[in-house]
Structure 1
Amino acid sequence: MSLQSLIRIEYAVAFLLCLFLYIYLDYSLFLFALFLLLPDVTMIGYFINNQFGARLYNVGHSFIIPMICIIFALSMGVSSLLMVALIWFAHICMDRALGFGLKYTEHFRETHIQKIV
């Protein structure tokens, strides 16, 4: 098994963990399905140019913001923010499990996951 395959399996397991936690917290599966692809709206930056598009996409597909949201939601008891953050986190895990990762500025289709051998 290649390192890339192992990493993709890890992300698939993390996606399932997010989904399990989401269901356990009794959030709406309809909203999960409805908003699961919402972070991909960050691809709109590519209409400006590749460099801006890659940066905007990477901001929307980095774990930093949803992790901060999860910490804030748990510490402040904001259930709706936790729901959004779990969907966002699940989206990133799903993307990376499918082989999509953070973008390089040169080519839209070139991602960090593909660079792992």
Structure 2
Amino acid sequence: MPRLLLRLEGLALFILASWAFAFTGTSWWLYAILFFSPDLSFAGYLAGPRFGAVAYNALHSTLGPALLAGLGLLLESPILLGIAAVWAAHIGFDRMLGYGLKYASGFKDTHLGRIGRQAAGA
């Protein structure tokens, strides 16, 4: 049941962040271009699982988009708010699919449980 709730939380974040993006007046092309950009952090795994987990988690924690959204509100910047919304939508999308923050033990070990074929009930 907790795993289902966490995935539903991810779905809610994805929907709400995408909806918030619409209010920024920013081009949907930007949304499309930036949506998967946090996944560039996968490249960190080339330096090993510990560094990969740090890089992945830095771009897949809601702290980053929350801080960027705060800055966007402070500066009254629609572009910063739009980027924050896309970033948050990506995180929600990943969580909805069961991808969580990574542990240094390996890419498949996440805070939502183990991912992949050997994961039971994921």
The TM-score normalised by the length of structure 1 is 0.91
User: Partners of 1:30 and 1:76 in 2: how far apart?
Assistant: 23
Supply the AA of the counterpart residue of 1:53. G
Deviating above 4 A after TM superposition, structure 1's stretches of 4 or more consecutive aligned residues are none
User: Partners of 2:23 and 2:83 in 1: how far apart?
Assistant: 15
User: Partners of 1:56 and 1:85 in 2: how far apart?
Assistant: 18
Q: Count the aligned residue pairs.
A: 115
CA drift at 1:27: 2.2
Post-superposition Cα deviations, 1:19-60, rounded to whole Å, max 9, x if no partner, equal 111113332222211210000111111001111111111111
User: Partners of 2:10 and 2:27 in 1: how far apart?
Assistant: 22
2:69 is matched with 70
Secondary structure (helix, strand or coil) at the match of 1:108 reads strand
1:45 is matched with 44
- 1:59-98 equivalent positions in 2, closer than 5 A: 59-98=58-97
Supply the AA of the counterpart residue of 1:51. R
Q: Root-mean-square deviation (CA), in Å?
A: 1.5
Richer in strand (by share): 2
Runs of 5+ unmatched residues, structure 2: 115-121
1:107 is matched with 106
CA drift at 1:62: 1.0
CA contact (8 A) 2:72 2:81 kept: yes
- 1:8-47 equivalent positions in 2, closer than 5 A: 8-47=7-46
Runs of 5+ unmatched residues, structure 1: none
CA contact (8 A) 2:35 2:86 kept: yes
CA contact (8 A) 2:24 2:79 kept: no
Supply the AA of the counterpart residue of 1:86. A
